[in-house]
Structure 1
């Protein structure tokens, strides 16, 4: 009679002792408040409640973590941008975009301003990758607005002589300015007045 040996399989991977989603949320808020270069690894691991080894294993290096945090920001606090594009008219798109910018930049319990604007404005060589990622991020959002306004021109919702590129950059510049002003302490009401003024000059079909 053959003897059969029973061997216990070792676990393939050691389970994480933390919630990666919660940790990423905390990392996003640190980058949002302090910017890429202003955030140290100690700041991140302290806020995330994990060790550096765990951070590297779960998210990669600081640059990769920043990119993941930016994705989370896009899907969370900055998701107003994608929703605004679904509005039926170009003016409603612009209104929803600016209102969303005001609210996201002055959100209770969150850092003021916008991660996508202030995250790496003053970055040196060490932060060049993060700065380039944010330039790409802002350009992509401008392009989405441009395409939506081009559609509005084709449909007669905007005057035929309207330049969709310029209009999109105008809207993005106002939104970026709102974020910078919010970071400087401007109130939600004051910034909403700025958004309302920008909409008063909106081109009529």
Structure 2
């Protein structure tokens, strides 16, 4: 339940506050991020946090949406702007190599790591992040299926399996980034992964 205040606080920038909260959740994970740490980092008092964002879980949900729409936007752009699903996936993975290792922010992907070391009481956190990962994989599958139906990919391609392959590569790159892999090393992984991409019907071997 949102704690009572006479009105929603307006003395801070909501997007900036979400950015600051996001970085804490991204770096520490959900459970290790306390309300005290959040208020200190966001520059607001606890009553203002509750009034503006609700409880910690509600704030976390908004942070995840913010992260996906801002820091994950490159994925959708790559798939939308490239002429084929294959070139879109290749671009997405290469851009991921840069995004996952960018300076000035935690490495890896928040959606992959924010539930690390959570206790069994954090089931809802796991569900939120699993839903996000599932939605990403379903979008890959939808685009691959469409490409198969249009003849861009061979009729024998199984969209669900190929989508899972891309998701596994991305999640592995995210873990490698967290463990210290460089952008160049992850770009090499992306290039190697795309060697397994099905060739278009009629393409030379």
Q: TM-score with structure 2 length normalisation? A: 0.90
Partner of residue 154 from structure 2, selected from 139, 156, 159: 159
Q: Paired residue for 2:44?
A: 50
> RMSD value over aligned CA atoms?
1.4
The unaligned stretches of length 5 or more in structure 2 are 1-5, 201-205
Moved more, 116-125 or 13-22: 13-22
Q: How does 1:163-182 map to 2 (within 5 A)?
A: 163-182=158-177
> Does the 8 Å CA contact 2:8/2:52 hold for their aligned counterparts?
no
Is 2:112 aligned against 1:109? no
Distance 1:139 1:14 in 2: 34
Distance 1:136 1:149 in 2: 20
Off by >3 Å, runs of 4+ in structure 1: 12-15
Q: Paired residue for 1:4?
A: none
Q: CA deviation at 1:202?
A: 1.0
> Does the 8 Å CA contact 1:28/1:70 hold for their aligned counterparts?
yes
> Does the 8 Å CA contact 2:31/2:115 hold for their aligned counterparts?
yes
Q: Paired residue for 2:199?
A: 204
1:6-53 deviations in whole A, cap 9, x for unaligned? xxxxxx846522112111110011111111112111111111011111
Q: Paired residue for 2:72?
A: 78
Distance 2:138 2:52 in 1: 32
